[in-house]
Amino acid sequence: MLTRIDHIGIACFDLDKTVEFYRATYGFEVYHSEVNEEQGVREAMLRINATDDGGASYLQLLEPTREDSAVGKWLAKNGEGVHHIAFGTADVDGDAEAIRGKGVRVLYDEPRTGSMGSRITFLHPKDCHGVLTELVTSAQPSADHSSAEH
């Protein structure tokens, strides 16, 4: 069962400049940052608030590390802006299978590793009214959520 909006992914050309905009304009601070080599992105998670299920909601800022990454290709075609929406779930595997059973294409056969050690998969935007949709099962929280580069 989907429990919350986990994050909204925003593609950007310059992560540092975009982080500074969100800090200066809204007061949001970086909760976590990392480089995800598999996805080809450098990212910053800006925590917006805690949620009733013990999770949180974030803005995820994404800068491609290579032009051939999914985010790099998307930026080249669309420019900066909202890239995807992610819903939190306690069981990404089960929910992905249930949604697949309703005729929605799930892009990964098995969930992959996402931000902060989460497990993720994506749903095809053509099956979700034009919205790239991510399902996220958060990793157990660790003691240090500072801006550590991985």
Residues designated catalytic: 7, 43, 60, 84, 134
* Token output for 55: 């999770």
* Cα→Cα distances 23→5, 20, 28, Å: 21, 5, 5
Q: What gap in Å lies between CA 107 and CA 111, rounded to an integer? A: 9
- Per the listing, tokens 């749903």 go with 123
Q: What gap in Å lies between CA 1 and CA 98, rounded to an integer? A: 10
* H or E element at residue 61: strand 56-64
**Residue among 115, 91, 85 at smallest CA distance from 1:** 91
